Amino acid sequence: TGLANRQLFRELLQHELQRALRQNTQCALLFIDLDRFKRINDTLGQPAGDIVLQTIGNRINSCIRGCDVAALHYEDDQKSEQVARLGSDEFTVILTDIDQPEDAAQIVQRILDAIAQPIEGLGQEVLVSASIGIALGPQDGSDVETLIKNADLAMYAAKDKGRNTYQFFDKTMNDVVLDKFALENDLRKAIEQDQLELYFQPKINPLTGIIVGAEVLLRWKHPQRGMVSPLTFIPIAEESGFIVELGTWVLQQACQINHDWQAQGMPIVPLAINLSAANFNHPNLLPDIKRTLTDLSLSPNCLVIELTEGILMTDVQETVETLKALKDMGIYLSVDDFGTGYSSLSYLKRFPLDELKIDKGFVQDIINDPNDAAITAAIIGLAQNLKLNVVAEGVETTEQADFLLRRGCNTMQGYLFAKPMPRRDFEQLLQAGIDMRDMQAVFMVDY
């Protein structure tokens, strides 16, 4: 990118910190991390990724008042801004002579707006966003290591806020990091200490009310914190790499439970597990699944694997090969949250899929939002034309169910029928053979 490297950057930051201390001024360190850049690299290839990085570097430079760090001359009476690239998708900017935080915020917002502009010329339009952390020197750190650490913490706080935004360092962020570290350590103990539990949300045939399957959802009952939300512990597991072990545990437990049910003479109910990208791309995925099914003498049609579009599109050729191997084993394959990701219809026909799941974000507003209604109807039609099963997630009202049923949606899942429930409660439903349409007001459709 033509920007400064790590060593030069540290020397420049040291110089600016010393100058700020000497002259009683402020500098600002910006930590810029491109959001989900790996997906761009994996999907479009490294050469395209390099072009994106070069473009972003140029845009950052265009947003600041000074010159490229490589051509910088230290002149204490001049304001300057210095840009460096630290890692594959990380940039830093040093802003000098900052009178107040708002000065840095204005420049940062300019950088975010510039980065968000579409990048053309790569075969398709590429959209990039960034998360930016801001640490002010010397108040947030009077030495290089501390200021870098705090800008990095602020950057992760920006990601936690939803990405494509910025965050100033706050001393409470250290407490947040310590808390996440403690949660990560506790999560690693959760399996052996029997704190994890599988919940099951039924999938329903809306014409008969029969349970035709269930989605498996992971729950963590922490001994001190109580129930920890998956929205909290799953990202921690992904960041730490523990998600692979966690995903393997869910697979084995779901298969064991299904085996136990069949041994008790209960109806065969396919259980759907959500695979993370790390699990799907792990070399042990296929051997682990095959060994688990073989050890339990469990039919592969008892297992459904749900994958998001983002996972499918990471490396299309590799994805096709893995999906074919799973399909050859007899495993049912489903695309979760369909319509929210990056999949191309031209790729969709290459994947040996069985099912599309309509994201609840579309379903929840189908009655009041014509766009969501049109998208949902189009997905149902697409699935029918491709001879795929279609599942609507997040069905909460009879009006939604009626809309979906009229358009040919043959499987539904949501609070209208049942919330996710512990194993014992789900077993009772299966054994009772309850018509799930009776769980709430029955919706009627005339034919």
pLDDT digit string (tens) for 43-75? 777 888 889 988 998 899 888 855 333 223 223
Give the Cα-Cα-Cα angle 209, 375, 161 (nearest 5 degrees).
Answer: 95
Q: Is the pTM of this model over 0.75?
A: no
User: Is domain 6-170 annotated with CATH 3.30.70.270?
Assistant: yes
Region 170-198: mean pLDDT is 90
* Exposure string over 136-156, b if 16+ CB within 10 A, otherwise e: bbbebbeebeebbbbbbbbbb
- The domain spans of the chain are 6-170, 182-436
> Is the model's pLDDT at 94 over the cut of 80?
yes
* pLDDT tops 90 at residue 291: yes
Query: E strands along 323-422, which residues?
Result: 332-338, 355-358, 389-392, 411-412, 421-422
- Which of 43-57, 166-180, 319-333 is most confident? 319-333
Q: In which band, very low, low, confident or very high, does the pLDDT at 297 lie, cut at 50, 70 and 90? A: very high
Residue 87 has pLDDT above 90, yes or no: no
- State the fold for domain 182-436: TIM Barrel (3.20.20)
Q: Span 109-126, mean pLDDT? A: 89
Highest mean pLDDT (candidates 172-181, 306-315, 359-368): 359-368
